[in-house]
């Protein structure tokens, strides 16, 4: 437990030294990003929950989640890059062979390679089974064709975990996962998307034109890609929730500090009841969201069946909290909250992303409801079975 606390404290020290002094240049100009990523890799931040046998620290997922929360308070861009990178790491941890893990995880952990996860397509977002990218086996390799959209870390990443159909007639069960390398012939990038926030968090399309993927880069077996993706995104949602909480904490801290400095009618606005009500609301929601995120991480560490339910609840509630808390922060700043000189303006724009990525909040509600209704149905079936058995 002591090493876990030390690592979280180390994350704060790292952010204070390497991110905080350069935050505006990182977010507004895209400077120092590669240097920061290299330093993080050298210090072990990319291998927190990766098994020791592959060069990681083997710490609980909860530690990595806490670190993500801290980083997102300082930089949404760095947090976003790491989040997308982790999806590639997790995919290979979950489905990779020993050889694949040995080859790629060590590079990911050291930060010598950055990863990306490619599932979304122009016509397949919330419904992954609708993807059209295909991979056809030809002798000792798969020939892949298709287009991916809104892929985070495009261009920056060296290694891409790409989902493709190997059997078009089987829907989700016909999806397989592959490792695609940046240097593969026929693999190219589209233009970067111009977004409302996080300008230097690269999002772009991927084009795969007769890309030859050796059989050794198939992740798991054919047809198991959808399962790999869902297991990966389940953990990804916990990290997304953590990043949303980190953003909300930053917005809260900025707003509280400003409310104590801003003078109206001869007194700080923090003395006004309406501002105090905002502060109370913000802090309560942040703490509730944080507890939900950490509970989801704890359940995943315990391999609990409840992890799926809680990861979706954590992502859903934390992202809504980020939007609401950053909105109230802007409200406390008043007109200044609408000015780019103040960080809350940027945080308010960034917060919206968390309601969309890793499965929209509408999808999360469906997952939550499905889990709860299934539990209820199972409980009723068990009670019915016990009742019939006792009547015999």
- SS3 of the chain: helix, strand, coil, percent, to 5: 65, 15, 20
Handedness of CA 261, 267, 270, 275 (dihedral sign): negative
Sequence-ordered list of residues with C-beta below 8 angstroms from that of 118, at least 6 positions apart, any chain: 148, 151, 160, 161, 162, 163, 180, 206
- Distance between the two ends of the chain, CA-based, in angstroms? 53
Q: Treating both helix axes as pointing N-terminal to C-terminal, what angle do 225-261 and 76-95 enclose, rounded to 10 degrees?
A: 160
Q: Which two tokens mark 135?
A: 């991979």
What span, in angstroms and rounded, lies between the C-alpha atoms of 350 and 63? Answer: 24
What span, in angstroms and rounded, lies between the C-alpha atoms of 149 and 2? Answer: 42
What span, in angstroms and rounded, lies between the C-alpha atoms of 102 and 54? Answer: 6
- Give yes or no: 2 in active site: no
- Chain-centre distance for alpha carbon 142: 29
CB 232 within 8 A of CB 219: no
Q: Which secondary structure element, helix H or strand E, spans residue 124, and what is its range? A: none
What span, in angstroms and rounded, lies between the C-alpha atoms of 222 and 56? Answer: 28
Catalytic residue among 99, 123, 358, 382, which? 358
Of the candidates 301, 310, 125, 163, the residue with the CA atom closest to the CA atom of residue 234: 310
CB 247 within 8 A of CB 76: yes
What span, in angstroms and rounded, lies between the C-alpha atoms of 104 and 114? Answer: 10
What span, in angstroms and rounded, lies between the C-alpha atoms of 128 and 76? Answer: 26
Q: Which two tokens mark 40?
A: 């993080």
What span, in angstroms and rounded, lies between the C-alpha atoms of 330 and 333? Answer: 5
Count other C-beta atoms under 10 Å from residue 156's C-beta. 19
Residue whose tokens read 């935050």: 23
Length of the chain: 392
What span, in angstroms and rounded, lies between the C-alpha atoms of 357 and 323? Answer: 14
Q: Which residues are catalytic?
A: 358
């Amino acid at each position: 437990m002591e090493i876990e606390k030390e690592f979280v404290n180390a994350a704060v020290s790292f952010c204070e030294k390497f991110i905080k002094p350069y935050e505006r240049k990182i977010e507004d100009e895209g400077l120092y990003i590669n240097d920061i990523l290299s330093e993080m890799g050298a210090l072990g931040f990319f291998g927190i929950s990766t098994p020791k046998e592959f060069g990681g620290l083997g710490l609980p997922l909860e530690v990595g989640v806490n670190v993500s929360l801290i980083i997102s308070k300082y930089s949404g861009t760095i947090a976003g890059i790491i989040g997308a990178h982790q999806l590639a790491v997790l995919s290979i941890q979950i489905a990779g062979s020993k050889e694949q893990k040995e080859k790629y995880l060590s590079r990911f952990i050291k930060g010598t390679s950055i990863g990306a996860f490619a599932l979304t397509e122009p016509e397949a977002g919330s419904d992954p089974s609708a993807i059209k990218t295909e991979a056809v086996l030809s002798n000792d390799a798969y020939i892949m064709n298709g287009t991916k959209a809104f892929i985070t870390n495009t261009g920056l990443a060296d290694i891409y975990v790409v989902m493709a159909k190997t059997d078009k007639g089987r829907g989700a069960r016909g999806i397989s996962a592959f490792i695609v390398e940046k240097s593969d012939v026929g693999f190219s990038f589209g233009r970067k998307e111009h977004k409302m926030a996080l300008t230097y968090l690269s999002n772009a399309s991927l084009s795969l034109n007769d890309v030859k993927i050796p059989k050794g880069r198939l992740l798991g077996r054919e047809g198991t890609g959808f399962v790999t993706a869902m297991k990966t995104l389940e953990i990804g949602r916990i990290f997304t929730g953590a990043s949303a909480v980190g953003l909300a904490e930053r917005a809260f801290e900025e707003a509280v500090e400003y409310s104590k400095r801003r003078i109206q009618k001869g007194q700080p606005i923090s003395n006004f009841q309406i501002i105090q009500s905002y502060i109370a609301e913000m802090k309560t929601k942040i703490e509730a969201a944080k507890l939900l995120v950490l509970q989801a991480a704890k359940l995943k560490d315990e391999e609990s069946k409840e992890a799926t339910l809680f990861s979706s609840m954590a992502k859903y509630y934390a992202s809504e909290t980020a939007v609401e808390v950053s909105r109230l922060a802007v409200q406390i700043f008043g007109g200044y909250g609408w000015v780019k000189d103040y960080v809350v303006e940027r945080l308010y724009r960034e917060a919206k992303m968390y309601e969309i990525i890793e499965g929209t909040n509408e999808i999360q509600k469906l997952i939550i409801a499905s889990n709860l209704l299934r539990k209820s149905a199972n409980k009723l079936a068990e009670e019915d079975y016990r009742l019939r058995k006792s009547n015999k």
